[in-house]
């Protein structure tokens, strides 16, 4: 093979390689990535009672209660902010969640409300404090219901059954059922959370009032 032919052969090979590389690059620009885009971060909400700064000194005759972790239906066991389109279905609001699991959120609210009452001292089970009394909440409802149709401002509904018992033998002393509702100002998730917050605070304050007006000191 002459020198000229070798030169043409090398040039042809280089041209072919460059063509393949160019085609590969062009194809790659049209092939969709198999790595999905990251999902947008959820907006995290918490109940205002969990951040309140009002703490009062308990009175000398304050009742001391162990505040158990509430029992909730399975759809309410996680961090989801739940809504009900028709009252018989539970769905999770997209793009938003509670800062804690719902049972822990409500338990924290109970402790915060009790800390604002001089006649009640609430303690967690893990505190190790010995108490004669324990209170437990059974959560029946903790969702927003679109009772006026989807797209309208929903109704926040909370319903708790509080049971007061002897901490040592669990003998029942009394129970109290409370249901509170608050209409959201509009259909935005932030307004639904505010309505849920108001309903929750009203319900727990009613429970605190019940404890303070019930003769439980001599019941054991």
Q: What is the mean pLDDT of residues 96-103?
A: 96
pLDDT in tens, 156-182: 999 999 999 998 888 999 999 999 999
Total structural domains in the chain? 2
Within this chain, do residues 126 and 171 fall inside the same structural domain, yes or no?
yes
pTM value > 0.75:
yes
Within this chain, do residues 16 and 91 fall inside the same structural domain, yes or no?
no
Domain span at 77: 43-213
Within this chain, do residues 19 and 51 fall inside the same structural domain, yes or no?
no
pLDDT in tens, 113-169: 999 999 999 999 988 888 899 999 999 999 999 999 988 999 999 999 999 999 888
In this structure, are residues 129 and 64 in contact, taking their beta carbons and an 8 Å threshold?
A: yes
Q: Which of 202, 196, 199, 204 is nearest to 137 (CA)?
A: 204
């Amino acid at each position: 093979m002459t020198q000229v032919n070798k030169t043409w052969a090398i040039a042809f090979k280089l041209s072919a390689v460059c063509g393949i590389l160019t085609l590969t690059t062009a194809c790659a620009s049209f092939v969709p990535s198999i790595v999905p885009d990251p999902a947008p971060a959820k907006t995290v909400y918490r109940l205002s009672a969990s951040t309140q700064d009002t703490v009062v000194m308990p009175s000398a005759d304050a009742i001391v209660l162990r505040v158990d972790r509430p029992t909730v239906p399975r759809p309410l066991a996680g961090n989801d902010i739940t809504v009900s389109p028709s009252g018989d279905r539970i769905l999770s609001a997209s793009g938003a969640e509670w800062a804690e699991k719902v049972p822990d959120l409500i338990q924290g609210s109970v402790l915060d409300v009790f800390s604002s009452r001089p006649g009640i001292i609430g303690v967690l089970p893990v505190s190790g404090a010995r108490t004669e009394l324990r209170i437990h909440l059974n959560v029946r409802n903790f969702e927003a219901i679109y009772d006026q149709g989807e797209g309208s401002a929903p109704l926040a509904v909370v319903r708790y059954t509080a049971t007061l018992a002897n901490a040592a033998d669990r003998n029942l002393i009394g129970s109290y059922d409370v249901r509170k509702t608050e209409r959201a100002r509009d259909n935005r998730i932030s307004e639904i959370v505010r309505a849920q917050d108001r309903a929750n605070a009203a319900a727990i304050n009613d429970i605190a009032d019940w404890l303070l007006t019930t003769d439980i000191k001599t019941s054991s």
